[in-house]
Structure 1
Amino acid sequence: MKYSLSDLIYQGETSGVHNWDTLSGSSFYWHPDWLHIAEDMTGHNAAAQIEPAADKATKAEAAEAIVKHLNK
């Protein structure tokens, strides 16, 4: 299966941490100060790195990094 951005379910933001879920039940988290996507809200378990166009990644770049990670 090939994932796309439409396969991510944005769950919102809590204390600056953004959360996306997949239909299969995986959760991914990102905070604007992190250059990675995490598998837990603390950010300690990095699942994928983000390659931002500027100094800080954007929410859109975080979502793209999740899709790229899922398609590996």
Structure 2
Amino acid sequence: MKLFTMDDLSYRGTHQGVHSWDHPEGDTPYYWHPDWLHIAEDALGIHPKADIDVPEGETATEEHAKAAIIKHLNEKNNG
């Protein structure tokens, strides 16, 4: 099975602080806001898709969010 990488994500931009990415495995994007510790399937963050792994003492960043999206896609696709 194909493993996804960061290159497979297409950044859609940010709206009111919420970042979003398209991906090759679906018709709905992933969303993330710096205050969230998860990625979501909606811009309000009400429907989490996966937690973000953030080392203790660090703040969640866009890179953490992208890593969580890739991990979620790969687990879903290969799980």
- Could you tell me the TM-score, scaled by structure 1's length? 0.92
Structure with bigger strand share is: 1
Identity, % of aligned pairs?
46
Aligned pairs for 1:1-72 (under 5 A) are: 1-24=2-25, 25-53=27-55, 54-72=57-75
**TM-score normalized with structure 2 length:** 0.84
CA distance in 1, matches of 2:21, 2:70: 11
Which runs of no fewer than 5 residues in structure 2 stay unpaired?
A: none
Question: Which is helix-richer, 1 or 2?
Answer: 2
Which consecutive unaligned segments of at least 5 residues does structure 1 have? none
Mapped to 2, the partners of 1:7 and 1:69 lie a distance apart of 13
Aligned residues: 72
